[in-house]
Amino acid sequence: MKRVLLGTSALLGVGILVNPALAEEPIRISIGGYYKAAYMVIDDDNGMLDEDDNSNPQLGHNTNRDGLFSDAEIHFIGSTVLDNGLEVGLQIELEGEDQFGDQVDEAYIWFGGGFGELRVGSDDEALHKACVIPPGGSSNFSAFSPNQWAANTSGLMSAFSGFGDNSICTGVDGTTDAQKLIYTSPVFAGFQLTASYTPSGGDETHGEGVGTHVGMPTNTPGKSRHNTSVGLNYGYEGDGWGLATSLGGSWEGHREEDNDALGGGNISFGEQDFYQAGINLFIGNFAIGVGGEYYHDLVDIRIESDSITSDSWVAGIGMSYAHDAWIFGAQYSHREDEFAISTDEGEELTLTQDRVIGTVTYLFGPGMNFDASVAYTWLDTDPEAGVLLDEDGELNDYQALEFGVGATLTF
């Protein structure tokens, strides 16, 4: 089983993805991409908390018990090497489905050589690119930030803090693929540095003011700018064993305030800063690892004298074992959001989300696999929150058991 120790799926290195053309040839485009499909079935809390008056639905109420889901992209990739040794390339990723009105996913150019690689365009920031995730997930399923997640928790978690899964690879940019500069160093004694700078954290497309334009992008309330991110990887491969590690940070430079909100109220937003770490150990066909991320000021909103703030963290463990064409995996993740609400009453709230999953993958051809999973997700608050209350005024904790089968084709 092949393993890339530096950065797992993150660091691609210099001269990536395609073989360079002969010296001084123009860039020629090749086509790649993937198609992922999954069928999922769920058994979760889906009734009414107040049965007498048929009100206050649980998270799984009025949702399907099963579903078919897909994700697909076509990648246009090309590069060439000039006589002076400089490699020049580009990659444009076209969504197989229209993604919120944006048909293009990532799109960037790169310049590479002995100095490393510089990317310019729409791509993930350094913390995400360098992130090492514990083993045990599959193409479609994971306990952290999977391609498919059937439990109906994302609406509630996103309403509280902006994202719904147990991600350990999320940066501060409001739009993941906002336009940015990304530098990746060469490998020195097993170490590799990735750094990125995002002028405007919410701007990716022409409609957001970063295509052909006159004037500069608008600074709207809550929007971040001048964001920076750094990721450091270390990898080592010995005789029958190996190590992959990551350490990263992501910082907002500034968040725009709203000085004329709610009929004259003043809304201010605190700057976020996130920190990530992970380590995976490979011994023969066995792998085990841990990883996590701390979200400082994930929520920091102040309206006059009132405020709501939260610090959050996610941590987890995973392991996998490969045998012939089979890979067996297991993962566990825990997320905790700690809120402080400053009003006349004053409140504190801790929201937790746990997820455990087992996966199996069968590699049936080059770039082709089937995968399957069984997962259990549960959500709780402490003290009991003023949402999803039963007839006794207490939170009816949510839990979900899900099953999934899927396939992935890469080309």
Q: In this structure, what DSSP letter does residue 188 have?
A: B
Task: Please report the pLDDT score of residue 18 as a whole number.
Answer: 46
Tell me the CA distances in angstroms from 159 to 118, 153, 321, 387, one per residue in order: 36, 10, 37, 12
- CA 293, 158, 319 angle in degrees (round to 5)? 40
CA atoms within 13 A on the CB side of 130: 32
The torsion defined by the Cα of 88, 91, 119 and 367, in degrees rounded to 10, comes to: -100
Tell me the CA distances in angstroms from 267 to 257, 260, 302, one per residue in order: 6, 8, 6
Task: Please report the pLDDT score of residue 371 as a whole number.
Answer: 98
Cα separation, 30 vs 28, whole angstroms = 7
Structure tokens at 313: 């963290």
SS (H, E, C) 375-406: EEEEEEEECCCCCCECCCCCECCEEEEEEEEE
Instruction: Give pLDDT < 70 ranges for the chain.
Output: 1-23, 49-55, 98-101, 259-265, 343-346, 383-396
- CA 86, 90, 94 angle in degrees (round to 5)? 170
Structure tokens at 126: 């350094």
Structure tokens at 53: 């008056």
**Closest residue by Cα to residue 151 from 170, 169, 138, 164:** 164
Three-class SS state of 207:
helix
How does pLDDT run across 230-275, given as a tens digit for each residue?
A: 999 999 999 999 999 999 999 999 988 876 544 555 788 889 999 9
Task: Please report the pLDDT score of residue 363 as a whole number.
Answer: 98
> Measured between alpha carbons, how far apart are the two ends of the chain, in Å?
19
Structure tokens at 269: 């937003």
Task: Please report the pLDDT score of residue 16 as a whole number.
Answer: 40
**Closest residue by Cα to residue 107 from 179, 197, 202, 7:** 179
pTM, two decimal places:
0.88
**Closest residue by Cα to residue 196 from 277, 266, 120:** 120
